[in-house]
Amino acid sequence: MKTDTIFYTLLQNLPSVLFELLEQPPTQASHYEFSSVEIKELSRRIDGLFLPLPEYPQDPIYFVEVQFQRDDDLYWRLITEAFLYLNQYRPERSWRTVVLWAKRSLDPGIPKAYQTLLSAGQIQVIYLDELTDTSSSIGLGIIGLVVAPENEAVEVAKNLINQVQKADVTKRRQLLELVERMLIYKFSNQSRQELEAMFGLTEWRKTKFYQEVEQETKLETIPRLLKIGLSAEQIAEALELKVEVVKQAVEKQSRGKS
């Protein structure tokens, strides 16, 4: 999974983290809906869009861009997308752009044409590896995990899991699922069983994401089991899947070969 995708997943599930990065109250997130919108002129979508709810007319629109590799055209593209969006949707709102760079060395610098937007506060730039304290919240802790050097990542992950386990029980499952996604991304060379052992995780087997990944892994083994002559019923029993699910996977495989 790409790193920017991981961050958009984080923003979608824990939008308060954007406002923490902007040094605003996390509760500000309740004023917004995180969305993606189509820009017809470009035949593409803006993935990181914070749209204020109608009852908060004073709040600006935020265009958010996450970048983990050098991109000399990023500012040109981002501002173009913002103006095309404004032209297409004509919102009665002020607006700002936020660029989240993994590190300062990737940033080519804001073009002179847009320097006035920077001085007016309409372009805000944040370097994630320069955040001084990511332990103050779970959202910032997740960012700290993603950008942590390999030799520090395990300790960061353990502290993050400890925070999640202390969270309100009504939010714990969602947070655990989110952390789980980050762990699988960060420690991609480890199996889920190894991650469970490394971090003492027992609850994450109950999360929807774990179950989806587990089923996907099982489905990937079906072709091999078919090759050794097992029937759909036998495969379903061996993998603890419904027979209908196995038959659908077999049918999908057959269509792919035709």
Burial class, 22, CB count within 10 angstroms (exposed 0-12 / middle 13-18 / buried 19+): middle
Per-residue model confidence as pLDDT tens digits over 213-242:
667 777 888 888 888 888 888 888 888 788
Q: Cβ distance 141 to 135 under 8 Å?
A: yes
pLDDT at residue 233 in the model: 86
d(CA 10, CA 135): 16
pLDDT at residue 209 in the model: 52
Q: Cβ distance 128 to 103 under 8 Å?
A: yes
Whole-structure pTM value: 0.75
pLDDT at residue 258 in the model: 52
- Tallying the residues shown for the chain, one arrives at 258
Identify the band that residue 6 occupies on the pLDDT scale cut at 50, 70 and 90: confident
pLDDT at residue 133 in the model: 83
Please name every residue paired with 125 in a beta bridge, in sequence order, or none if there are none: 99
Does 58 or 205 have the greater pLDDT score? 58
d(CA 220, CA 20): 40
Domains of the chain: 3-202 (no CATH), 208-257 (1.10.10)
Per-residue model confidence as pLDDT tens digits over 177-204:
788 888 888 888 887 778 878 887 665 5
Is the pLDDT at 44 greater than 80? The verdict is: no
What six digits make up the tokens of 167?
Answer: 């969270």
Please name the helix (run of DSSP H) or strand (run of DSSP E) that holds residue 152, with its range, or none: helix 150-165
Per-residue model confidence as pLDDT tens digits over 57-68:
999 999 999 999
pLDDT at residue 99 in the model: 96
d(CA 68, CA 2): 9
d(CA 204, CA 176): 7
d(CA 88, CA 94): 15
Please name the helix (run of DSSP H) or strand (run of DSSP E) that holds residue 235, with its range, or none: helix 232-239
Identify the band that residue 52 occupies on the pLDDT scale cut at 50, 70 and 90: very high
Is the pLDDT at 205 greater than 60? The verdict is: no
What six digits make up the tokens of 72?
Answer: 């000399």
Per-residue model confidence as pLDDT tens digits over 126-154:
999 999 888 888 999 999 998 888 888 88
Per-residue model confidence as pLDDT tens digits over 79-132:
999 999 999 999 999 999 999 999 999 999 999 999 999 999 999 999 999 998
